[in-house]
Amino acid sequence: MPDRRAVLFALAAAPALAAGAARAASRVHAVSGIAIGGVDPVGYFREGRVVQGAPEIAVMWRDAIWHFASAETRMAFENDPRRFAPAYGGYCAYAVSENYLAPIDPSAWTLHEGRLYLNAGRRAQRLFRADLPGRIAAAERNWPGVLR
């Protein structure tokens, strides 16, 4: 039978551990505080291409600054950031599927089933796309534990 103090400690620690995991899962890859290298995340969905954002049309979300090409795309993001934000905090999806972190090249991207996946480069993008369901399943298993 477990020691009463150990049980009480575990019960007391559970919310803090859950909060720590939630904070880790909300971490966004940002270089100099800017997410996706200043690319408008909504552009991938609406225009099907990389659209450079403008520093004067920005919003802070999850401790990163996100740039947008227009007030309209900024508003779309603000209304539903989880829809437009890249999977895995904007880290390379292929790398996360392999259980490590890597920065991204905003031009190496994939939209799949309404979700944005970024990769470190064209090679990582090809490897990721070669088995999308398998890579996504592996990345989901590794996220957010890979952040530790």
Above pLDDT 70, what percent of the chain?
Answer: 82
3-state secondary structure of 63: coil
pLDDT of 100 > 90? The answer is yes
The mean pLDDT of 88-101, rounded to a whole number, is 98
pLDDT score recorded for residue 27: 81
Minimum mean pLDDT range among 7-21, 78-92, 125-139: 7-21
Write down the domain spans for the chain: 28-83, 86-148
pLDDT score recorded for residue 66: 98
Cα–Cα distance, 102 to 105 (Å, whole number)? 10
- pLDDT tens per residue across span 105-120: 999 999 999 999 999 9
- pLDDT tens per residue across span 2-32: 444 433 334 444 444 333 444 444 589 999 9
Mean pLDDT of the chain: 88
Cα–Cα distance, 1 to 53 (Å, whole number)? 59
Above pLDDT 90, what percent of the chain?
Answer: 81
Provide the 10 A C-beta neighbour count for residue 20.
12
pLDDT score recorded for residue 16: 40
Cα–Cα distance, 55 to 44 (Å, whole number)? 18
Sign of the torsion angle spanned by Cα atoms 90, 127, 95, 140: positive
